[in-house]
Amino acid sequence: MRRLIFFLMLVIFFLIAVRVFAETSGAPVAMDSMVVTAKKLEETLQTGDVDKEQTPAFFSVIEREQFEGKMEDLSEVLEKEAGIQVRQSGGLGSFSTVSLRGSSSDQVMVFIDGILLNDASGGGVDLSNIALSDVEAIEVYRGVTPVNFGKASIGGVVNIRTVRSRKGFDASVSVGYGSFDTRKFAGFINHKPGRWDYLISADYLSSDNDFDIINDNGTEWNKADDTREKRNNADFNQENFLVKIGFDLTDDVRIDFVNQWFSKDQGLPSWNNSEATDTAFDTTRDIATLRLTANDVGPYHFNTSTRFEYSWKEEEYDDRHGHVGLGKQHSIYTTNRYGASSFIEWLTEWNVLSLMLDGQHEKYDPKDQRGLENPRESTRDTFSLGVQDSFILLQERVIVTPAVRYTTVNDDLKSATSWMGESLEGRSRNENYVTPQIGVKYRLLDWLTLKTNIAKYVRQPSFFELFGDRGFFFGNEDLKEEKGVSFDAGFEVRWMGSGNWLRRVSYNVAYFRTDVDDLITVSYDARGIGKYDNISEARIEGVEMGVNLEFLKYLRLVGNATWQDPENRSEIAAFNGKQLSGRFEESYLGRLEAVYGGLKVYFEYIAEKDMYYDTANLLEAEDKEEVNAGMSWLFRSLLFSFEAKNIGDHHYEDFNGYPLPGRSYFFTLKHSL
């Protein structure tokens, strides 16, 4: 009740305050929900992109300047947004996943330029395998998913938008160094002299990740045997290479070829931090796409975008000495995916009609390098058809956006022998889903916009959840698909001032709720080994809030907060009413920036509270509190950055037994041509 009263007081306070500002300034400006930067998103808007002015979805956009020149990965950037939780198993480059509004990582669809990274093998998208050096912006859609994306999900969508070619020539090179022998090198070149253009981006990132940890030697309550040690076998090396080639056939027709290659070699530390551990998990990925964009087509002036894609991913898990998982393992997992998609939109004065077609064929081929098992080869064919219509009413004050998707999924699971010697028979699964959604956006005043959405969703279990893998998880072939309904409602305030005392106010609040049947969740035993099961029912509801103030000409204050109640409503009495594992109840961020000329200084505080590692709520995680600070200085073509992370040297664990780094420092120097 105290939180509800506090929340209502915040709402009333900000509505009154902004109303006063609007009345006194006489200069209201309507803006949408995004991180404000000097560059406008419309400069690079292409057919197939989500129109931020029309979508009723609650979203945020993180522009490149928010992480430019920093020694950060995608997880560190995302965790600063409201409604987002990131869980990381160690330092920079370690396995990390994202949760939106209390969802699991499998329930969040992650795209690169509209290409889905979630594959049928499952396990959630590892954010550490997405390099930031060639990212232009990160789009986060919470809850309802615009039909522009081929798949919808309970949590929402994270779309990584890579840099796009612009007219002229520009290039840059950057180097960085920091704690734990962390090294970074990156280069970029873009050239568009006429109809032809090309873009090349490459980077290298590595770290020993030998930060200090407190090892309790498996005796949490006995402090006498606790030792301070260096983290063992947590080093990594990764390379990323992006090439884009484009040609403008006419003013309205363009063809693009894109290829992105990524490789990472990574050590996996053991739970007890054994020095003898030599377990490794290496990943190589290649994504190639060919895209044809044709606008103003035919008598009805359709805008179209057609894309063909191929992706290949190979993961090698080497634990031949059994230091980390269940028994000795050495396996290679190969995923091949072929896909084609088409997006068509028809714009009129009073509506925007969109059609999406998407087809994918995936083959998941695990190989046991020791020859002791016969792993299961599996394929999944997916076809989606989506239709969305945005009706623009009442002189563009109201936008009603109904949409519906039809999805068919066909799994072909080969016979095999499990790692325990059990015979696994071949199976086929064929499912069809219809998932409707509708959203409403109402600009009540020039500075106040109301939004609400409701959507149905279905998620089929991944191969990872069905069969288990990599020594950390047991599978469950009897898993059912998840089914649920998500709802949200809230408002956004956008006000521009005319003086230096208060130049800009942005404030948004949203209530969200998701009811899920047959939620797929993982429970862990005392060894940290997980098993997937369906929970009969779960409910996640909460409130997220964000504020952005620019004042006194040189200062900017950013804050956000999330309160959520992820409740397990299992038929098992011992779990009913418990909190869903791996989800916090409270999250806060406060950030103060001072900008003068080319100099920027910032100070930020991050907190996450009340999380349990296990389904029974017996293992409670320590509350996370982190203080960061830094500065950057732009002098002509040189950008120098310095960061101090976790200044309080707080040792926190997102995953039980896998601590994050303590205090660390990083320097970066970038030269632009």
What confidence tens digit (pLDDT) does each residue in 79-101 have? 999 999 999 999 999 999 999 99
Chain-centroid distance of CA 515 in Å reads: 22
| In contact, 134 and 163? CB cutoff 8 Å | yes
595 class by beta-carbon count within 10 Å (0-12 exposed, 13-18 middle, 19+ buried): middle
Q: What is the pLDDT of residues 215-255, one digit of tens each?
A: 877 667 777 777 888 999 999 999 999 999 999 999 999 99
Q: Which residues contact 636 (CB under 8 A, 6 or more apart)?
A: none
* pLDDT over 90, % of the chain: 61
Sign of the torsion formed by the C-alpha atoms of 549, 550, 554 and 560: positive
Q: CB atoms < 10 A from the CB of 661, how many?
A: 26
Nearest residue to 643 (alpha-carbon basis) of 603, 599, 596: 603
Give the Cα separation of 607 and 590 in Å (integer).
9
Most confident of 257-266, 472-481, 491-500: 257-266
Nearest residue to 660 (alpha-carbon basis) of 275, 95, 132: 95
Give the Cα separation of 225 and 248 in Å (integer).
67
CATH of the domain at 119: 2.40.170.20
Longest Cα pair distance anywhere in the chain, in angstroms? 80
Nearest residue to 494 (alpha-carbon basis) of 451, 450, 447, 548: 447
Please tell me what DSSP assigns to residue 275: T
Q: What is the pLDDT of residues 558-577, one digit of tens each?
A: 999 999 999 999 888 888 89
pLDDT of 391: 96
Number of domains in the chain: 1
Q: What is the pLDDT of residues 205-220, one digit of tens each?
A: 999 999 998 887 766 7
Residue 423: band (very low, low, confident or very high) from pLDDT cuts 50, 70, 90: low
Give the Cα separation of 226 and 272 in Å (integer).
12
Q: Which residues contact 482 (CB under 8 A, 6 or more apart)?
A: 107, 154, 457, 458, 459, 461, 516, 517, 518, 519, 520
pLDDT of 23: 39
- What are the structure tokens assigned to 90, written together? 């160690």
Q: Domain range holding 200?
A: 2-672
Question: For residue 106, which phi and psi values (nearest 5 degrees)?
Answer: -70, -20
| In contact, 413 and 378? CB cutoff 8 Å | yes
Give the Cα separation of 57 and 49 in Å (integer).
14
Nearest residue to 110 (alpha-carbon basis) of 145, 68, 66: 145
State how far the alpha carbon of 53 is from the alpha carbons of 66, 449, 538, in Å.
22, 11, 33
Q: CB atoms < 10 A from the CB of 375, how many?
A: 21
Q: What is the pTM of this model?
A: 0.88
pLDDT of 32: 41
Pairing mode, if any, of strands 108-112 and 115-116? Answer: antiparallel
Q: Which stretch of DSSP H or E encloses residue 320? A: none
Residue 374: band (very low, low, confident or very high) from pLDDT cuts 50, 70, 90: low
Q: CB atoms < 10 A from the CB of 11, how many?
A: 16
Give the Cα separation of 324 and 326 in Å (integer).
7
| In contact, 371 and 353? CB cutoff 8 Å | no
Q: What is the pLDDT of residues 320-362, one digit of tens each?
A: 888 876 678 898 999 999 999 999 999 998 999 999 999 999 9
State how far the alpha carbon of 36 is from the alpha carbons of 40, 66, 72, 494, 496, in Å.
9, 10, 20, 11, 12
Pairing mode, if any, of strands 212-215 and 108-112? Answer: unpaired
pLDDT of 524: 62
Question: For residue 145, which phi and psi values (nearest 5 degrees)?
Answer: -110, 120
Give the Cα separation of 273 and 150 in Å (integer).
42
Residue with tokens 């930060």: 211
- What are the structure tokens assigned to 538, written together? 């779960």
- Has residue 276 got a pLDDT over 90? no
- Residues 138-158 have a mean pLDDT of 89
Q: What is the pLDDT of residues 506-548, one digit of tens each?
A: 999 999 999 999 888 776 655 556 677 888 789 999 999 999 9
Q: State in Å, rounded, how far the first CA of the chain is from the last one.
A: 56
> Which of 239-243, 272-276, 494-498, 586-590 is the least confident region?
272-276
State how far the alpha carbon of 125 is from the alpha carbons of 95, 154, 267, 673, in Å.
9, 15, 18, 35
Q: Which residues contact 10 (CB under 8 A, 6 or more apart)?
A: 509, 545
Residue 33: band (very low, low, confident or very high) from pLDDT cuts 50, 70, 90: very low
- Arithmetic mean of pLDDT over the chain: 86
Nearest residue to 331 (alpha-carbon basis) of 280, 275, 277, 274: 280
Give the Cα separation of 485 and 472 in Å (integer).
31
- What are the structure tokens assigned to 437, written together? 């959604």
pLDDT of 10: 42
Q: Which residues pair with 634 in a beta bridge?
A: 639
- Has residue 198 got a pLDDT over 80? yes
* Coil vs helix vs strand at 507: strand
Give the Cα separation of 439 and 4 in Å (integer).
25
- Residues 653-668 have a mean pLDDT of 92
Please tell me what DSSP assigns to residue 350: S
Give the Cα separation of 205 and 668 in Å (integer).
12
Q: Which residue has the higher pLDDT, 522 or 137?
A: 137
Residue with tokens 């009345």: 23
| In contact, 546 and 82? CB cutoff 8 Å | yes
